[in-house]
Amino acid sequence: MAQAAGPPRTVLITVDDDPAVSRAVARDLRRRYGESYRVVRAESGESALEALRELKLRGDPVAVIIADYRMPAMSGIEFLEQAIDIYPDARRVLLTAYADTGAAIDAINVIDLDHYLLKPWEPPEEKLYPVLDDLLEVWRAADHRRVAVTKVVGHRWSARSSAVREFLARNEVPYRWYSSDDPEGRRLLAAAGEDGRRLPLVVTPDGTALVAPADRDLAARVGLATTPAADFYDLVIIGGGPAGLGAAVYGASEGLRTVLVERSATGGQAGQSSRIENYLGFPDGVSGAQLTDRARRQAAKFGAEILTAREVTGLEVGGAARVVRFADGSAIAGHAVILATGVSYRQLDAPGAAELTGCGVFYGSALTEAAACQGQDVYIVGGANSAGQAALFLARSAKSVTLVVRRPSLAATMSHYLVQQVEEAPEISVRANTVVEAAHGEHQLERLTLRDTESGGSELVDAQWMFVFIGAAPRTDWLEGTVLRDSRGFILTGPDLAPEGRLPAGWELDRPPYHLETNVPGVFVAGDARAESAKRVASAVGEGAMAVMLAHRYLEQS
């Protein structure tokens, strides 16, 4: 069995344009430190800088940099000046001849040199090793432990930077955020050869640098599955919210070859919820992320395959097979399909909102932005449960949270337990009979125009953060011409397709559609995308399980 790779060893790097001297330095370093440190040698300042940039992107620690003073293209001092920008904490040593000691002494102030060594340094036990031992002890005194996480360099008000952070967070990919204005962020940009005009920069744990990557490219690089393992399955589930995950758990656990396809991140809208308190079996509540993670691991345990960042664009009938087509032109097929595509938040129809999306205007809870809201005034648009859960979560750190509600009160759209908690939270206020008329800001959200629907009066308020929860639109446009939907785009099933016992047009079987079956035999729907569904996490999970049961019945009769 192959041994798992351990953490990378700390690097000692030496650069000298004289090959003989370069080999001698590396030889002496390896003799004393080779078991604990990795020794890297270079024969020019530029090649050494290139090596440092690669080490930086991989996150490998560098403890000591040793450079010869006299090099033709770039002196040791010039090299160390640039090396400081990449590894500011590394100890710096200059190799000099006796005639250059004056320059070496000056370099102590110019580049904060830690030590200079006269050539030759024989014997190393007396002239080299004691110096390096002291420098390594100083370096080890600070915490330089490498954390193998994805690094994201972006700007606070960059919409794509925000989207990448949300994508990684919702897919449970550990990452570390660096502002492009921070020193470490600038160092990572420089190491990748970027000037900060294209953001975000994503550096994966293996050192790969991705500039403003698309979700699918990002998913593949951080270890998420994006390519199906097979061409044909018993059950294809489209959508990874509670309904889809529930179907994946029950389908795989009952022996069906199951694949779940998700276009962004598993969990759906529920996965973005900061707290779900009315889900059976969790009396103290559970976050959407926790529930999603448990369901995803449970589905994987039973053998369900989960594909991320794959957008489905078409559904076709090919004899007994149901063919699912992807945006890149590829396809998979299955005996049965469950549509669990869920819904997305409706876009706010107000001037300025579209332009500022991701730059202060967010749809859904955007929990990755919560820390930046500390001590600030936050506006939440909407009056349903998701808005109330977000308000309670953000109120923990925000200066104030204002719920902007079109209706006269929260009672008609929010669960009673949430209404009570909102009313008891001193940081939360409710502006009823109010709508957002406009969002203002040049590069980020700065102000909102709020209009009172009763009096007609408008008010301009300062705002840097607005989270929008204003109803749901089904993600079903791609089913046009194949699966029947109602006027709002929700999918029709079962009795709605066969009123008074009449079979839907084109239906080829001698039985009516099952309760969750669409007008295409073998294609089922579960969760919020179904017409007249309950729009609750528990009901979505239940429908996912029921859809699997009906798919089994369909397969047995096919």
Q: What is the mean pLDDT of residues 127-153?
A: 84
* pLDDT at 7 (0 to 100): 62
Confidence of residue 503 (pLDDT cuts 50, 70, 90): confident
- DSSP string spanning 193-224? T--SSS--EEE-TT--EEES--HHHHHHHTT-
3-state secondary structure 373-421: HCCCEEEEECCCHHHHHHHHHHCCCCCEEEEECCCCCCCCCCCHHHHHH
Percent of the chain with pLDDT over 90: 70
Classify residue 35 as exposed, middle or buried by CB count within 10 Å of its CB (0-12, 13-18, 19+).
exposed
* pLDDT at 194 (0 to 100): 95
Those residues whose C-beta lies under 8 Å from the C-beta of residue 256, and which sit 6 or more positions away, are 233, 234, 235, 548, 551, 552
The encoded tokens of residue 216 equal 């699918």
pLDDT of 326 over the 90 cut: yes
pLDDT of 133 over the 90 cut: yes
* pLDDT at 250 (0 to 100): 97
CA distances from 317 to 324, 489, 530 (A): 9, 21, 20
Give residue-wise pLDDT tens across range 342-371.
Answer: 998 889 999 999 999 999 999 986 667 777
AA letter at 244? G
pLDDT of 275 over the 70 cut: yes
Percent of the chain with pLDDT over 70: 96
Peptide bond into 242 cis (omega under 30): no
pLDDT of 410 over the 60 cut: yes
Classify residue 477 as exposed, middle or buried by CB count within 10 Å of its CB (0-12, 13-18, 19+).
exposed
Give residue-wise pLDDT tens across range 421-457.
Answer: 999 999 999 999 999 999 999 989 999 999 999 999 9
Q: Which residue has the tokens 């080779």?
A: 34
* pLDDT at 4 (0 to 100): 40
What distance in Å separates the CA atoms of residue 451 and residue 469, rounded to the nearest whole number? 18
Confidence of residue 112 (pLDDT cuts 50, 70, 90): confident
Which domains, and CATH codes, for the chain?
Answer: 10-141 (3.40.50.2300), 150-221 (3.40.30.10), 232-344+473-557 (3.50.50.60), 361-470 (3.50.50.60)
* Phi, psi at 444, each rounded to 5°: -155, 165
* pLDDT at 498 (0 to 100): 77
* pLDDT at 149 (0 to 100): 82
Confidence of residue 290 (pLDDT cuts 50, 70, 90): confident
* pLDDT at 141 (0 to 100): 83
Q: Return the exposure string of 135-160: e unless at least 16 CB atoms fall within 10 Å of the residue's CB, then b.
A: bbeebeeeeeeeeebbbbbbbebbbb
* pLDDT at 111 (0 to 100): 74
pTM, 2 dp: 0.78
pLDDT of 143 over the 80 cut: no
